[in-house]
Amino acid sequence: MALDAGLVGRSYPPSAVYEVGRAKIAEFAAALGSTDPVHLDTEAARAAGHPDVIAPPTFAIALTLSAAGVVVEDPDVDLDYSRVVHGEQRFVHHRPIRAGDRLVATPTIEAVRTVAGNDLLTTRVDVATEDGEPVCSATSMLVARGAA
Amino acid sequence: MTARVRAADVAVGTELPERVYPVTRADLVRYAGASGDLNPIHWSDRVATSVGLPGVIAHGMLTMGLAGRAVSDWAGDPAALVEYQVRFGRPVVVPDDDTGAEVTVRGRVAAVLDEGRVRVDLTVTSGGEKVLSLARAVVRLG
């Protein structure tokens, strides 16, 4: 089933506020085996010029994945999720995510394509503070493998 | 907030130290909890094989995260990665044993950009096969 090209540019309302906690950053860093003190120790982070501990560069996925769920649930987006794999991922950081951030995530459908029977859906999730300061953009390309 | 590696000290062709990261089933469970990605193909052989995979596979985002760590550790500053992108090629199959799989990350400076930034191209393999392609980071050096 080809995706409707008219979906390109469709935006969804901002997510609920996600409050970034120090323990969550430490947990995410530990899951990557990172022991860099800027993830774990507020004093070390401050000594490095950050207001508080900062998250690893791929941390945003913890909120953008669920924020992109609204695209998945959009009845106009006809994608077979039982056949979906993660094709590509990109992050553009305006500044590191840090403990204490109150973030909202706003998804936009950036591209739809059909290649060799596979449906490709590219969604960009813009992450900003609730006051509107841009923090990062996370772009995910999902591939729904066509039936063999 | 400044990278340990200085832009003046690198050129096109500068290589990052190779890093090898073991990935066990326990690491997948830890990453699932930390990221909120509870897809059972990352912890259930039954579900993984039912969708045609050889067995439980690592989260693509875990592999991307490990490769990002290799770049951060080289630069000496996780905030230095201002852009980072990958294409997920081949899955990393993680056997249910004590050693698991290994993810090997190599990188080289592929371009020197403006404002102290460089582009690092990464080669990420597991079991001798490339698992990520077009894996690139823009890194702001000191």
- Residues A88-104 have pLDDT tens digits of 999 999 999 999 999 99
Cα A128 to the chain's mean position, in Å?
A: 11
Give contacts of B60 with chain A, Cβ < 8 Å. Answer: 86, 89
Distance from the Cα of A93 to chain B's closest Cα (Å) equals 5
pLDDT of res. A79: 83
Listed in sequence order, the residues at least 6 apart from A91 whose beta carbon sits closer than 8 Å to its beta carbon are: A57, A58, A60, A136, A137, A138, A139, B81, B83, B84, B85
Distance CA A92, CA B46 (A): 36
- What DSSP state is assigned to residue A37? H
Give contacts of A93 with chain B, Cβ < 8 Å. Answer: 79, 81-84
Per the prediction, chain A carries an average pLDDT of: 94
A28, A62 contact by CB (below 8 A): yes
Listed in sequence order, the residues at least 6 apart from A114 whose beta carbon sits closer than 8 Å to its beta carbon are: A2, A3, A120
pLDDT of A68 higher than 90: no
* Amino acid in position B96: D
- Per-residue model confidence as pLDDT tens digits over B65-102: 999 999 999 999 999 999 999 999 999 999 999 999 99
Q: Which of A49-58, B20-29, B47-56, B61-70 has the lowest mean pLDDT?
A: B47-56
Residues forming beta bridges with residue B105, ordered by sequence position? B19, B124
Distance CA A124, CA A139 (A): 4
Q: Where are the alpha helices (DSSP H) in A32-134?
A: 37-40, 42-47, 61-67, 69-73
Listed in sequence order, the residues at least 6 apart from B9 whose beta carbon sits closer than 8 Å to its beta carbon are: none
pLDDT of res. A146: 78
> Residue B11, Cβ neighbours under 10 Å: how many?
10
Entry field: residues in chain A: 148
Q: Where are the alpha helices (DSSP H) in B39-107?
A: 45-50, 60-75
pLDDT of A2 higher than 80: no
Find tokens 């469970």 and name the residue: B29
Residue predicted with more confidence, A147 or A64: A64
The tally of CA atoms less than 13 A away on the side-chain side of residue A75 is 0
Bridging pattern class, strands A118-129 and A102-115: antiparallel
Distance CA B56, CA B93 (A): 6
- Please name the residue of chain B whose CA is at the shortest distance from the CA of residue A45: B1
Distance CA A84, CA A80 (A): 7
Cβ of A89 within 8 Å of Cβ of B86? The answer is: yes
pLDDT of res. B1: 58
Give contacts of A50 with chain B, Cβ < 8 Å. Answer: 1, 79
Report pTM: 0.96
Find tokens 């001798």 and name the residue: B128
